[in-house]
A and B are shown apart, each in its own frame.
Chain A
Amino acid sequence: MTDPAVLRRYRVEHSTRYEYVATVMHGHHLLHLSPRQQQWQRAMQHDIDLHPITGLLRPDTDAFGNPVHRLEMESPHQQLIINASSEVLVSVRPEWQADSTMEWEQVCKRLCYRHQSRTTEELEAISYRAESPHVRVKNAFADFATACFPVGCPILVGAQTLMSKIYRELAYAPGETQVNTSVLSVLESRRGVCQDFAHLMIACLRSLGLSARYVSGYLRTRPPEGEAALVGVDASHAWVSVYAPPYGWVDLDPTNDLRVGLEHITLGWGRDFSDVSPIRGVIVGGGEHQVTVAVTVTELNDRVVDSSTS
């Protein structure tokens, strides 16, 4: 038995079902459905199954270091079910002291170009600082965030304040935004889902000159007894990782206003959603289609099972 305060064991079932009106002749899919190995996370077991027909499935690693599967569907089909199941061990992350992180202006300066050699870590941080397909860099975002970052403020303190601000000021509104809803319109409407919360926070951090990345994963579904359920348990979840020296990357969940810990299971990260969306596919044919996603996260050695929606 493990001590649930430092180590948890989860089983994740992520099922995606496509139903097509017409026959799909051929298709290419990119799957980000496998948990990424980290210092505080290990995938003990992982499988991807296809039903009712199979295709060419090849494991690979993407440019961000995430595990990825490339799937080619060669035979005509009208239904495709992709089941990803994993058993993941999550251990507690270090207790980072927000107060003792570097002043945010210093971080900006350090990330800017200067004629000095770079460590791998720094160079990696720099690569998450620019605009990306879903994240704009604009004055509007910097203006939104600026009050959270007073002069000389330690970066993690500022980032956590920003996270709380986003949590307070944005309404969680499932179904109102789409995958391609722009982060600018999220700033205007102040409504969205975890993906929009994350994109907005990333846009704010990058617009201030800081580095932030998008993390895709899951959230444990059943709350501990006596506590309210967290938001974002019904499907994939997403949060933000901010570069906070001297610790490095620290994960923050703006949808729930908390630091990422034992309840989060990480699939992978990238500049934004487009780099790590669970399934990206292009098919030939198919006509109209319906897609149903079901995610179940179960804590093993635990009494609970939880539900899922589509």
Chain B
Amino acid sequence: MTVDWLKTYRTRAKSYDEVRDATGQVRPHWQSLLRYLSTSGAEGVQQGLDLARTLIAENGVTYNVYADPKGTDRPWALDALPLVLTATEWQGIEVGVQQRATLLNAMLADLYGDQRLLSKSIVPPELVFGHPNFLWPCKGIQPLGDAWLPMYAVDLARAPDGRWWVLNDRTQTPSGAGYALENRHITARVLPDVLRELQVRNVQGFFSSLREQLLTHAQDDSLAVVLTSGIFNETYFEHAYLARQLGLSLVQGHDLTVRNNTVYLKTLSGLRRVHAILRRLDDDYCDPVELRSDSALGVPGLLQAIRAQRVAVVNPLGSGVMDSPAWMGFLPGAAEVLLGDALKLPSVATWWCGEPAALKFVFEHIDDLVIKSVFPNQRRELAFGNELHGAAREELFERMRRRPYTFVAQERFALSQVPVWSSSASLQLAARSVTLRVYAIATPEGYRVLPGGLARIAGETSADVVSNQLGGGSKDVWVIKDAAEASVQDVHDTKPIAPRATLRSAQHAFEVSSTLGENLFWMGRYNERCENKVRLLRASFVMQSESSVWKSALTSCKQFGVYHDDVSMRDAIFLEHRSTSLHADFKRLHWCATQVRGRLSSEYWRTVNVLRRQMRTASNGDVELRETLDWMLLSLAAMSGFTLDDMTQDDGWRLLNLGRRLERLQFLCDLLAGRLQNGLSLLQGELEWLLDVNSCTITYRSRHVAAPRLPLLLELLIRDATNPRTMAYQRDFILHDLQHLSELGGTSVALSLTKSVATVMDVDFGTVEGVGQGASYARQMLAARLQDLSTEVRQLSDELSRRYFSHVGQALQMVGV
């Protein structure tokens, strides 16, 4: 059963229709895609859309994750129907984008160099000196390879006449390329046959170029890294994603240090030279010594390392100055002077109001124009001339008269329309406005353009070129090969990575920074701590409140801070502000997990989110407590399992495991010591409870038929090296991991841990049973030894922190006078 999907697709009058020509005929390059959709029918299409949604959720593709104070993840919005472009059309775009990137690169070199453009008055000095991202300290800098604009992105829109026009230039930290790559991965899964049939150009090669570009200046053993501002950035997913795709470490400012004009990454094994930084942090935040002194995100001394040509930053600091709509009108003049050529891609008509004639024109044609700020730090709302009347219009005019050079006006035109899937009532195609973001990378052979890009769909109401409310999501962009291209293997797109680079990638992928190591270590600890607390609570709950065991169980719960006399059980567990509550520990676990998200499998991440939901529901008091604890335990156990099976077993992983083992060992010591220290003999029920808390009930029963006895229980929990919950087991694995981690294995900390464990194991467990004074004394002595061991574990944890994470915790501070 075929479906005519275009029936509901009605484009706006006067806008260009990407799919149909003026006579209503489907354009040739859209035909096979539409034919496929038609034969798939509603069910087939729905399946594809479901698959896309699942892949987005599974791959954890999100946007704006932490901008929301509630921390709710917003899944990336992808419309699974791609924007299709012909080879001929693409060629025009490609050449135009290459030329524009070349021009902007030359302009940056000029503005930070001899400023010919200014002395010849080709561009207004107001745009340069008034721009917050014109960074004075960068004057005279020569970036490595003279590349001022190694990476460039441009937003294009198609006017009713069918031509593509430039809306925006992105030179600061061009974002979205990672999303474009992910979009392709997903559409390739959803529409594999059409993708093949249409011979859509491959986008992966572009990322190899980016990688090569970053490795150009590599020296033996040096690293390239991706610098992020952290998890609060709206595109943090992309930072992590790009780092993973490029095989580079994702780092924050405090992971880097500049020594003697050289940038280093603080890693678990010491300082490692960094020769290239792909930065996703705005340039003025990058060096608090010379740039914004209020930035805690930057790397002190970075600018001097750049000046000394010891590190390449992509894009170089200072490149943000070209991010302004006001440049548009001056680019043709600059192109003539710097390239001796006319601009191939036109910019949307733009008037910079700093020129009296332009201001006059803008006042006269205000109805057809939109008024924008010249500088990115102005944060003014866009003003649509036709929507402003009377006093509001006069007020704007007055402001424009006072400081005309901070205003720019742009022409408005209807954007071209594409079909998108809409499921308002039933599944159907609706028309939406679209813009196209295209990416380019500087290579030794000139700029290389990503054959595709990120199509962004406008929200339902905005059809206007400038009303940037692109809430509608994104699309993949398919550039189809022409007949000639299709017959030959596309050398450019599949060009292999240089062998040197490959070798390097194998060696240095994911260098474990100290911050990452620290977060993994604590994630291991908190994961285990939560699990211990849940076990403790669950085992205690089984008991009747009148039973004599209940009292001692409660004492243990108090010992670990999950129960207090002054509040209800539920509050004690779920109140976040109680620092020892289960909820508080879970929040710490969640924080660590978000910090290391790039290293976690999507399953782990999903389980964390499930657990968070469980925690919220339970704190609202809607569900039975015992059942909730059961579910939580399941989730936590699953998370432990994922870290065992789904992670690369490097030093970071070892730290995670060490964290978990140390936590488990300490818990066991504290729990047993807590029960033994008063010297009283333990009741039958208490022994059962201890086995339950430590998940050893079944093991014990399989070995001993009779009811539990303390010596046998201790034998199991302490000496048995085959059960993963016991002391001997923790000791063996801790020593093993320490050995692998570094030279720590043979050091005094490891030795004294071994010794302290031995003093516990040396105890004759037979002596601790019974009611006599001797037995009571033996129990107290064992408790004391357990406490010593617990202290030892704490010291080992501190030692690890000192050795591996110490330079992380040191905050930067400004000491100017």
Q: How many whole Å from A291's CB to the nearest CB in chain B? A: 6
CA distance A115 to B815 in the complex (A): 45
* A30 contacts B by Cβ under 8 Å: yes
**Count of inter-chain pairs, beta carbons less than 8 A:** 115
Closest to A64 in B: B136
Q: Which residues of the other chain, A, contact B125 by a CB distance below 8 angstroms?
A: 113, 118, 123, 126-127
Contact (Cβ within 8 A) A72 B129: no
* B814 contacts A by Cβ under 8 Å: yes
* A279 contacts B by Cβ under 8 Å: yes
Contact (Cβ within 8 A) A72 B260: yes
* A56 contacts B by Cβ under 8 Å: yes
Q: Which residues of the other chain, B, contact A139 by a CB distance below 8 angstroms?
A: 402
Q: Which of B114-122, B168-176, B206-214, B519-527 contacts A (4 or more CB under 8 A)?
A: B114-122
Contact (Cβ within 8 A) A282 B121: no
* B726 contacts A by Cβ under 8 Å: no
* A70 contacts B by Cβ under 8 Å: yes
Contact (Cβ within 8 A) B817 A282: no
Q: Which of A21-29, A39-47, A219-227 contacts B (4 or more CB under 8 A)?
A: A21-29
Contact (Cβ within 8 A) B293 A284: no
CA distance A129 to B290 in the complex (A): 21
Q: Which residues of the other chain, B, contact A270 by a CB distance below 8 angstroms?
A: 136
Count residues on chain A whose CB falls below 8 Å from chain B CBs: 50
Contact (Cβ within 8 A) B260 A284: no
* A281 contacts B by Cβ under 8 Å: yes
Q: Would you call the interface of chain A mostly helix, strand, loop, or mixed?
A: mixed
CA distance A285 to B119 in the complex (A): 46
Q: How many whole Å from A144's CB to the nearest CB in chain B? A: 15
With A28-B300, A280-B816: A114-B121 Cβ-Cβ less than 8 Å: yes
Choose among A114, A271, A286 the residue that contacts B813 (Cβ–Cβ < 8 A): A286
Q: How many whole Å from B252's CB to the nearest CB in chain A? A: 14
CA distance A18 to B816 in the complex (A): 10
* A133 contacts B by Cβ under 8 Å: yes
Q: Which residues of the other chain, A, contact B137 by a CB distance below 8 angstroms?
A: 62-63
With A29-B289, A63-B137, A72-B260: A277-B816 Cβ-Cβ less than 8 Å: yes
* B746 contacts A by Cβ under 8 Å: no
With A274-B293, A282-B288: A120-B119 Cβ-Cβ less than 8 Å: yes
Q: Which residues of the other chain, A, contact B301 by a CB distance below 8 angstroms?
A: 28, 72, 282
Find residues 340-371 in chain B having any chain A CB closer than 8 Å to their own CB: 354-355
Annotate B129-144 by CB proximity to A: 1 below 8 A, 0 otherwise. 1100000111110000
Q: How many whole Å from B11's CB to the nearest CB in chain A? A: 41
Q: Which residues of the other chain, A, contact B807 by a CB distance below 8 angstroms?
A: 25, 284
Contact (Cβ within 8 A) B139 A63: yes
Closest to A275 in B: B136
CA distance A139 to B288 in the complex (A): 30
Closest to A180 in B: B294
Contact (Cβ within 8 A) B118 A30: no
Annotate A118-148 by CB proximity to B: 1 below 8 A, 0 otherwise. 1010010011011101000101000000000
Q: How many whole Å from B487's CB to the nearest CB in chain A? A: 52
CA distance A126 to B810 in the complex (A): 42
* B304 contacts A by Cβ under 8 Å: yes
Q: Which residues of the other chain, B, contact A25 by a CB distance below 8 angstroms?
A: 807, 810
* A116 contacts B by Cβ under 8 Å: yes
Choose among B124, B126, B300, B402 the residue that contacts A282 (Cβ–Cβ < 8 A): B300
Contact (Cβ within 8 A) B115 A123: yes
Contact (Cβ within 8 A) B817 A116: no
Annotate B786-817 by CB proximity to A: 1 below 8 A, 0 otherwise. 00000000000000000000010011111111
* A97 contacts B by Cβ under 8 Å: no
* B410 contacts A by Cβ under 8 Å: no
Q: How many whole Å from A62's CB to the nearest CB in chain B? A: 7
* A117 contacts B by Cβ under 8 Å: yes
With A28-B301, A63-B136: A179-B119 Cβ-Cβ less than 8 Å: no
Choose among B130, B258, B259, B300 the residue that contacts A130 (Cβ–Cβ < 8 A): B130
With A28-B301, A63-B137, A126-B125: A117-B816 Cβ-Cβ less than 8 Å: no
With A129-B129, A271-B136: A279-B121 Cβ-Cβ less than 8 Å: no
* B257 contacts A by Cβ under 8 Å: yes
Q: How many whole Å from A123's CB to the nearest CB in chain B? A: 6
Contact (Cβ within 8 A) A70 B304: yes
Q: Which residues of the other chain, A, contact B118 by a CB distance below 8 angstroms?
A: 118, 123
Contact (Cβ within 8 A) B290 A113: no
Q: How many whole Å from B135's CB to the nearest CB in chain A? A: 9
* B292 contacts A by Cβ under 8 Å: yes
Q: Which residues of the other chain, A, contact B379 by a CB distance below 8 angstroms?
A: none
Q: Which residues of the other chain, A, contact B259 by a CB distance below 8 angstroms?
A: 26, 72, 74
CA distance A29 to B814 in the complex (A): 10
Q: How many whole Å from B405's CB to the nearest CB in chain A? A: 8
Q: Which residues of the other chain, A, contact B811 by a CB distance below 8 angstroms?
A: 284
Find residues 140-178 in chain A having any chain B CB closer than 8 Å to their own CB: none
Contact (Cβ within 8 A) A286 B815: yes
Task: List 13 A–B pairs whose Cβ atoms lie within 8 Å, in order of A's numbering.
Answer: A25-B810, A28-B300, A30-B289, A72-B259, A72-B260, A74-B259, A113-B126, A123-B125, A279-B815, A280-B289, A280-B814, A281-B816, A289-B813
Please give the residue numbers on chain B whose beta carbons come within 8 Å of chain A beta carbons, in ascending order: 115, 118-121, 124-126, 129-130, 136-140, 257-260, 288-290, 292-293, 300-301, 304, 354-355, 402-403, 405, 807, 810-817
Name 19 extra pairs, CB < 8 A, besides A70-B304, A137-B403, A274-B293.
Answer: A25-B810, A28-B258, A28-B300, A29-B815, A30-B290, A74-B260, A113-B124, A115-B121, A123-B125, A129-B129, A277-B817, A278-B817, A281-B816, A283-B812, A283-B815, A286-B813, A291-B815, A291-B817, A293-B817
